[in-house]
Amino acid sequence: MTYRLGVDVGGTFTDLLLIDEASGRTWTAKVPSTPEDSAIGVLNGVARICATSQVDPGRIALVMHGTTVATNAVLTGRGAKVGLVTTQGYEQTLQVARSFCPGGLGGWVTFIKKPLLAPLELTIGARERIDADGAVVQPLDEAALRRDLQALCARGGIEALTICFINAYVNGEHERRAAAIAQELFGAVPISISSEVVPEMQEYERTETTVMNSYVRPEVSKYVGSLRRSLEERLGQSAQLYILRSDGGLASARAAAQSPVNLLMSGPAGGVTGAMHFCRLAGFHNLLSFDMGGTSTDVALIQNGRARVRRETFVGDVKLRAPSLDVRSVGAGGGSIAFVPELTRALRVGPESAGAMPGPACYAKGGEQPTVCDANVVLGYLPADVQLGGTMHIERQRAERAVQKIADAMGMSLLDAAEGIVKVVNESMLGALRLVSVEQGYDPRDFSLVGFGGAGPLHANALGLLTGAWPVIIPPGPGVLCAYGDAATQVQDEAARTYLVMAEAIGAELLLADLLELQHRAAASLMADGIPEADQEVGFQADLRYAGQAFQITVDFTAEELEAQGIARLTEVFDREHEQLFTFKLGDDHEILMIRALVKARPKAIPRSQLGRGGTTLEECKIADSRYYWEGAWHEAAIYNRDRLREGLELPGPAIVCEMDSTTVVLPGCRARVDAIGNLLLDRQS
């Protein structure tokens, strides 16, 4: 028997989920994150989960890991010192950028632009030119380039180098030759070239994305290499490490170290894939997901069993050409700190978080500021006297002292202050959910709401009431669902090219031939990681727009669909999506901007852990009687152990369901029932 391990590193906790590939049985663990070095928390978690499961570490064959290392490097400014080589005359591409200023027309008064990732003093221009059709207009002056690179190298301190020539997305010959020359001079310094990282038109976006790849590459390479060596020491040489990509696929440790720009939204992607897995088994395909952790909440829309993918990734105020699941984040987590500004005297919650250290006041680790978690303890939603396998001790008195600061500042009772904190954070999450639903042309009432993360199930029922999205689904192990998503994801890579062809002027045969060429390129990457072509699955995408538009919509399709329906397969789907978003469609003048091939490793089936049927009564699942405060009144509530619940049991609210990694609140007037998968389905009582 072999095992696979999913690992998700969050701002407060590191979650782990171990799966027996033969039986489907799972074990979970939750340990504090170690911001100074995420690998320490991962290794602590490995030790914890192996001790809990009594599984020999040497039998863990696969480790799938969602990480925020790349994101944190950008947000904290800990990236590499990057040198840039571009076409002569285009040295100021990053300085010119795009005409965008946060804050609208008046924002320029206070807007302070952050330092560039590749400063002008470390930028050189190469004498070369390739035209828009890929023909060489001016050959690369290798002698001059060598002299300029020697001068750049002599300045010292450069930790990564970027090469981005004009029109290299059509013909990367000059970039590859320049990289070979630079490697002779810079030795072990990593070099990123745009024709490999992002072979797409628009020089600013291509340059910024390739520079970002260089900026985070040393940090990610160091982390991935160190973690891989540590895991090999702990688990054995046969253990393979994979990193979750922003688009929900997996990358090998080798591919992740080479193209870390594809990992910037790695963390949130795991939860979305985990939610889709359990909801698909239960027959739910249209979902609004929200992942509430200790620091933030990530929300996404899933339609017809597929999460929306956008071709741009936002990290801070930087926009990059890298695919990512369409996840929106808001600074609302269990550790979000509540405060009352002196000027407005209005209650605010977040985005600042107590994090892993010192954490919420109720954790008794030194935190004194009132947090959402403390408010949940005060209200009785998070019972302080019930622990199911967890090691975190919760102290109610510390939570009350922290929340009392808000009550005193606003001149209200302790309970009203705590309820105010919870309502404010719920409204913040509702706003994020509207971004991915209402503002995209979708009615939340047409979807089910799936809540997970350590804090998500505490707030899920309330968000169901606010959105009207029913049922509210709480998957098994919601606090470690991101880790499950990591463990259940496929290895993936893609190859793309700029196309710029009118759809009505091209035949399906020619398009398919170009797509198959991209398929071979993407397949070669997976074969380099030991995945033979016979074990690969292939899908295609095309980015379309109406001629003259400045944006595009991505359409997914297969070779069989293209052969059967022709180009109409693309244009008809595009028209429907355009009408959904903007209420109209033109029906002609479709332009294909980009085409790409997505190649995934064929998934290995994992048996589903069987849920017991009957034999256990609701009373036998009950742990204790309790009460919680809701809408200005106390309500008597029963506390249940989720591990004892069986298919078909129905829990009337008010109720609380506890498990090792999370706690679910069932509100008055609502009920929860257990389905065959083990999901809790919350709905209004009839």
CATH of the domain at 176: 3.40.1360
Q: Which residue carries 């727009």 as its tokens?
A: 545
Q: Is residue 607 part of a domain?
A: no
Q: Is residue 65 part of a domain?
A: no
Give the pLDDT of residue 33: 82
Distance of CA 456 to the CA centre of its chain: 16
Confidence of residue 358 (pLDDT cuts 50, 70, 90): confident
d(CA 408, CA 389): 36
Following CA atoms 511, 517, 522, 525 in sequence, which dihedral angle do they give, to the nearest 10 degrees?
180
Mean pLDDT for the stretch of residues 177-189: 94
Query: Per the structure block, which two tokens stand in for 339?
Result: 């405060």
Indicate if 592 and 686 belong to the same structural domain. no
pLDDT at 112 over 80: no
Integer CA distances (angstroms), 52 to 9, 27, 389, in order: 19, 8, 10
Give the pLDDT of residue 8: 85
Indicate if 530 and 633 belong to the same structural domain. no
468/106: higher pLDDT: 468
Lowest-pLDDT range of 14-18, 174-178, 314-318, 390-394:
390-394
Mean pLDDT for the stretch of residues 474-485: 85
252/487: higher pLDDT: 252
Please, what is the angle between helix 414-436 and helix 372-379, to 10°?
120
Indicate if 473 and 507 belong to the same structural domain. no
Give the pLDDT of residue 607: 64
Q: Last residue of some domain: 219, 248, 282?
A: 219
Alpha helices in 468-606, H assignment, sequence order:
481-487, 508-528, 559-565, 568-582
Q: Is residue 51 part of a domain?
A: no
Other Cβ atoms closer than 10 A to 346: 9
Q: Last residue of some domain: 184, 199, 219?
A: 219
Residue 262 · residue 251 · CB < 8 Å: yes
Confidence of residue 584 (pLDDT cuts 50, 70, 90): very high
Residues 6+ apart with CB under 8 A from 344: none
Lowest-pLDDT range of 69-78, 147-156, 475-484:
69-78
pLDDT at 391 over 70: no
The proportion of the chain whose per-residue pLDDT surpasses 90, expressed as a percent, equals 51
Mean pLDDT for the stretch of residues 226-235: 89
Mean pLDDT for the stretch of residues 163-182: 95
Indicate if 380 and 416 belong to the same structural domain. yes
Indicate if 326 and 310 belong to the same structural domain. yes
Give the pLDDT of residue 309: 83
pLDDT at 387 over 80: no
The CA-based diameter of the chain, rounded to the nearest angstrom, is 83
pLDDT at 676 over 60: yes
Indicate if 479 and 348 belong to the same structural domain. yes
HEC sequence for 259-317: CHHHHCCHHHHHHHHHHHHHHHHCCCCCEEEEEECCCCEEEEEEECCEECEECCEEECC
Q: 60: helix, coil or strand?
A: strand
pLDDT digit string, tens, across residues 623-637: 999 999 999 999 999
Indicate if 204 and 276 belong to the same structural domain. no
Q: 18: helix, coil or strand?
A: strand
pLDDT at 14 over 90: no
What order do you get walking across the sheet with 663-666 strand by strand?
622-630, 633-641, 655-658, 663-666
Q: Within 13 Å, how many C-alpha atoms sit on residue 437's CB side?
A: 25
Give the pLDDT of residue 614: 59
pLDDT digit string, tens, across residues 421-442: 999 999 999 999 998 999 888 9
Q: 517: helix, coil or strand?
A: helix
Residues 6+ apart with CB under 8 A from 275: 287, 289, 291, 302, 450, 452, 475, 481, 485
Residues 6+ apart with CB under 8 A from 242: 62, 63, 64, 65, 250, 251, 252, 253, 256, 491
Confidence of residue 288 (pLDDT cuts 50, 70, 90): very high
Q: Is residue 384 part of a domain?
A: yes
Confidence of residue 400 (pLDDT cuts 50, 70, 90): very high
d(CA 483, CA 46): 13
For residue 516, what is the domain's CATH number? 3.30.1490
Indicate if 586 and 639 belong to the same structural domain. no
pLDDT at 401 over 90: yes
Start-to-end Cα distance in the chain: 47
Residue 280 · residue 675 · CB < 8 Å: no
What is the residue-wise DSSP string for 42-59?
Answer: HHHHHHHHHHHHT--GGG
**Domain count across the chain:** 3
68/510: higher pLDDT: 510
Indicate if 369 and 441 belong to the same structural domain. yes
The proportion of the chain whose per-residue pLDDT surpasses 70, expressed as a percent, equals 95
pTM: 0.81
Q: Is residue 61 part of a domain?
A: no
Other Cβ atoms closer than 10 A to 281: 15
Q: Is residue 50 part of a domain?
A: no
pLDDT at 514 over 70: yes
pLDDT digit string, tens, across residues 600-625: 888 776 666 666 555 678 998 999 99
pLDDT at 101 over 80: no
Mean pLDDT for the stretch of residues 572-582: 91
Give the pLDDT of residue 73: 82
Indicate if 295 and 347 belong to the same structural domain. yes
Residues 6+ apart with CB under 8 A from 686: none
Handedness of CA 177, 181, 186, 188 (dihedral sign): positive
Give the pLDDT of residue 353: 84
Confidence of residue 237 (pLDDT cuts 50, 70, 90): confident
Give the pLDDT of residue 503: 92
Mean pLDDT of the chain: 89
d(CA 596, CA 249): 15
d(CA 527, CA 531): 5
pLDDT at 406 over 80: yes
d(CA 162, CA 250): 25
Indicate if 123 and 191 belong to the same structural domain. yes
DSSP state of 97: -
Angle at 206 between CA 520 and CA 496, to 5 degrees: 15
Mean pLDDT for the stretch of residues 305-334: 84
Residue range(s) defining the domain that contains residue 651: 269-490+627-686
Give the pLDDT of residue 100: 67
Q: Is residue 83 part of a domain?
A: yes
Q: Is residue 596 part of a domain?
A: yes
Indicate if 496 and 463 belong to the same structural domain. no
Q: If you compute the radius of gyration of the chain from its CA atoms, what whole number of angstroms results? A: 26
Q: Last residue of some domain: 219, 253, 279?
A: 219
Mean pLDDT for the stretch of residues 375-389: 83
Confidence of residue 158 (pLDDT cuts 50, 70, 90): very high
